[in-house]
Amino acid sequence: MSVLNGKKILLGVSGGIAAYKTASLVRLFIKAGAHVQVIMTPASKDFVTPLTLSTLSKNPVHSSFFNQDDEDAVWNNHVDLALWADLMLIAPATSNTLSKMTTGNSDNLLVATYLSAKCPVYFAPAMDLDMYKHPSVLASFNALKSFGNIMIPAESGELASGLSGEGRMAEPENIIAFLEADLESKLPLKGKKILITAGPTYEAIDPVRFIGNHSSGKMGFDLANEAANLGAQVILVAGPTHYKAKNNLVEVIGVVSAQEMYDVCHEYFKDVDVAIAAAAVADYRPKVVATQKIKKAADEFSIELEKTKDILASLGAIKKNQFLIGFALETENEIENAKLKIQKKNLDLIVLNSLQDEGAGFKKETNKVTFIDQDFKIEPMELKSKESVAVDILNKVVSHFAKL
Ligand code: CTP
């Protein structure tokens, strides 16, 4: 999945011949799953029509401070547009627009919006080879870089003037690749490996029956997707569940029993930076698994159970630098029980679910958790979707690494 997926992109098009390439650029953004709004300078409309870009971006194109076609002249709010964006790209960026950006000359909607933008701003220059090397243009590049804007360098090749050299706007595919590489390199969990357990485990009674529980696996899958979105390499060890990882950077290893989950976790744990145990592992399993289907005979029937291994506690016992997070599902004395689990399992953080909280627990879309850290700092959270709880948990992981 592209790092651009779900991103809100504001594309500023200024008036150069390369503007015709923005049709492909918008298509590639949409294909990558981004949301796109386009702002055009008046001059750019001579090179590509607003209708083309609004059709491809699936959004109205903005080009003036107010909508002239509208009798009541509705103001195009450049501040709202700028704040909407996760990322602004000016492509093609002509020498005229670049120079206005450096001096704050906001005589068009594009530059006014640029001046209001708080998001990262990229610019892809496009001009003739001598212009591209002119000291005044180089001064604009340097000024914009000093503002923290990121330049996507022009490419070499045939130019509209008939000359050949450096100055062509980077090809749309290369602009996309540049943005993806830059955004990926800045993801907060880039280079980190995370092991996550999810779902229930099934403990066989005989070839057709098992002991299991109602865990859907959603919390673990949401954690895995969010961790991958933040750049982590994720190994998700999942018991039986119908969930699929949305982010294809998540490696899912399917297991059935607690013992299988234990084995896989121990295979990977030594190489990971973080482990999060979100699985509802069966605490007991039948001592003997019948090789044939058990026939009904006596009126009463009992199965002797034995304890499964506590995966989380076993990881806590061997952990070195790994940041270890566990869950606790409690029905009474929640905080005290959770604190005991932190100590017993040698955890860095516990995510406490209380079944007393409405909206929390198995087969629910929402969860209400309380974080308790190693120093027993208690942080109750609001009732939220499991996706948002996953974001909160991973924020804890990000701030742990930020403190190191
Ligand atoms: N866990 C585990 N392996 C087990 C049991 C639990 O890894 N065999 C993990 C769960 O994934 C969870 C945490 O331990 O992160 C807490 O599980 P929970 O069932 O709440 O607590 P237990 O330690 O099993 O204790 P109890 O059932 O007595 O509350």
pLDDT score, position 262: 98
Question: If you average pLDDT over every residue of the chain, what do you get?
Answer: 95
pLDDT score, position 361: 64
Question: Which CA distances in Å does 79 have to 7, 57, 58, 75, 109?
Answer: 18, 20, 21, 11, 10
Task: Give 185's pLDDT tier (boundaries 50, 70, 90).
Answer: very high
Q: Is the dihedral of CA 26, 29, 35, 36 positive or negative?
A: negative
Q: Is the CB of 206 under 6 A from ligand 1?
A: no
pLDDT score, position 365: 81
Minimum-distance ligand 1 atom for the alpha carbon of 350: 15
Minimum-distance ligand 1 atom for the alpha carbon of 351: 15
pLDDT tens digits for range 82-105: 999 999 999 999 999 999 999 999
Which DSSP symbol is given to 169?
Answer: P
- Residue 321 CA, distance from chain mean position: 25
CA nearest ligand 1 atom 21, residue: 328
Q: Is 327 annotated as a binding residue?
A: yes
Q: Is 8 annotated as a binding residue?
A: no
CA nearest ligand 1 atom 23, residue: 341
pLDDT score, position 363: 66
Q: By the 8 A CB rule, do 218 and 225 touch?
A: no
pLDDT tens digits for range 200-240: 999 999 999 999 999 999 999 999 999 999 999 999 999 99
Q: Is 293 annotated as a binding residue?
A: yes
Q: Which of 243, 225, 242 is nearest to 234 (CA)?
A: 225
Q: By the 8 A CB rule, do 131 and 95 touch?
A: yes
Most distant CA atoms of the chain, gap in Å: 95
pLDDT tens digits for range 54-78: 999 999 999 988 876 656 667 878 8
Query: Rg (Cα) of the chain, in Å, rounded?
Result: 28
- Better-predicted residue by pLDDT, 195 or 77: 195
Minimum-distance ligand 1 atom for the alpha carbon of 325: 15
Residue 391, both tokens: 């974001």
